[in-house]
Amino acid sequence: MIKSFTESKIIKKANLLKKLDMYPFFRAIEASDGSTVTINGQKQVMIGSNNYLGLTHHQEVKEAAIKAIEKFGTGCTGSRFLNGNLSIHEELEEKLARYLGHEDALVFSTGMQTNLGTLSAIAGPKDCMLFDSENHASILDSARLSFATTFKYKHNNMESLEEVLEGNMSRFKKMIIVADGVFSMTGDILKLKEVTELAEKYNAYVYVDDAHGIGVMGDLGRGTMNHFGLEDRVDFNMGTFSKSFASIGGVMSGKKESIDFIRHSARSFMFSASMPPSAVATVSACLDVIAKDDTIHKKLWKNVKFMREGFKNIGFYTYNSQTPIIPIFIGDDIKAMEVTNFLKENGVFATPVITPAVPKGEALLRTSYMATHNMKDLEYVLEVFKKAKKALDIPSIRH
Ligand SMILES: Cc1ncc(COP(=O)(O)O)c(C=O)c1O
């Protein structure tokens, strides 16, 4: 029987990186204003977060969270199902359903729980789920909980999706196509129109994980469904509050009957304490702020365009990014660590993505931009990347 984890591969790798002073994880942030952070007394430009709208430090948002704590306390101490259901949870759900253009919405305590709870409620052993190969880990874990059969199709490749649909249409009770609206690593957008057409042809459900699309895409950040005008063709739409909405929590939206079914059967919803009042008020305030201030999205997209063009001009390979997520291809895992270190030493916070999160030789740096980044900081980031490219010989093409 094994009684120690120190010999495990992952811990050996972590310890080696620590020894080489190249361990890039769990960096403790001592202070933050959103677009910059202080670590070990050093100020760094943050290009490794999901705070796309920069609302974590918005005055009205912070005040709303404080007010909610004063009125309801710091936590709900129970599940929505029992003692943890506040009037503001229900008000937020109504507001979100209107915002997203769906009949009903249900809020969960995290985005991950939203995926776990919903997918394991709507799919069972007689069903199948069809996953884009770049879907988020929480979707993969949902499959394990549901006991459904799963198939992977090639990333955003409709021929590959159709092949799987065609080959399995008569074998299962239900088929559910599950894909990210905005892909979290490569920053490209789901071909939602084509997905909904295939779903109709093969009588499948469409489930969109819009963690990185909500708040960012479409009119006022209503998400990827709104970007394509396809709200009525998406059966289940998931969003998180841990990114654009400056807090923690998640939302599932869809038809009234489906949401009511999930409300009464999603285990991660029923057997876990509800979103705390401050988080509920934060999300609600974010929705109010973006409804009245259209400069936030304008600034976001201006910054995104500036950085995407800036990286291309220097000669980086940035995949097919069309969103605030701009990945930089590096290739080798060790080189990705070296680049991260170089950036850190020069006051830039970015995160490497290495194996097993990506295949061997496909390491990248995931960078992302906010409405609240200022031009001076962004120009500085490009300057540091230019130096890093030369110093560390970062490739211009993906091998
Ligand atoms: C695509 C996607 N789905 C789901 C989640 C889980 O969301 P949360 O962090 O709110 O639990 C994430 C978080 O990184 C994500 O990127």
Encode pLDDT of 4-29 as tens digits.
888 888 899 899 889 988 899 999 99
Cβ of residue 247 lying under 6 Å from some atom of ligand 1? no
Give domain limits for the chain.
9-40+294-392, 58-292
The whole-number average pLDDT for the span 372-378 is: 98
Cβ of residue 104 lying under 6 Å from some atom of ligand 1? no
| Residue 284: closest CA among 111, 158, 102, 98 | 98
Cβ of residue 136 lying under 6 Å from some atom of ligand 1? yes
Contacts by 218-221, CB closer than 8 A, 24 or more apart:
220/99, 220/290, 220/291, 220/294, 220/297, 221/53, 221/290, 221/297
pLDDT digits (tens, 9 = 90+) for 321-350: 999 999 999 999 999 999 999 999 999 999
| Residue 162: closest CA among 195, 129, 127, 209 | 195
Which of the four CATH numbers 3.90.1150.10, 3.30.420.10, 3.40.50.2300, 3.40.50.10950 does domain 9-40+294-392 have?
3.90.1150.10
Name the DSSP letter for residue 102: S
pLDDT digits (tens, 9 = 90+) for 77-122: 999 999 999 999 999 999 999 999 999 999 999 999 999 999 999 9
Ligand 1 centroid, distance to 49 Cα (angstroms): 12
**How confident is the model at residue 361, as a pLDDT?**
94
**How confident is the model at residue 4, as a pLDDT?**
85
Ligand 1 centroid, distance to 207 Cα (angstroms): 15
Cβ of residue 209 lying under 6 Å from some atom of ligand 1? yes
pLDDT digits (tens, 9 = 90+) for 37-84: 999 999 999 999 999 999 999 999 999 999 999 999 999 999 999 999
Name the DSSP letter for residue 30: S
Is domain 58-292 annotated with CATH 1.10.540.10? no
**How confident is the model at residue 255, as a pLDDT?**
98
- Nearest residue (CA) to ligand 1, atom 7: 111
**How confident is the model at residue 1, as a pLDDT?**
67
Given a cut of 90, whether residue 357 has pLDDT beyond it is no
Ligand 1 atom nearest 138 alpha carbon:
4
Alpha-carbon dihedral of residues 65, 68, 70, 71, nearest 10 degrees?
A: 180
**How confident is the model at residue 57, as a pLDDT?**
97
- Chain centroid to Cα 168, Å, comes to 29
Average pLDDT, the chain: 96
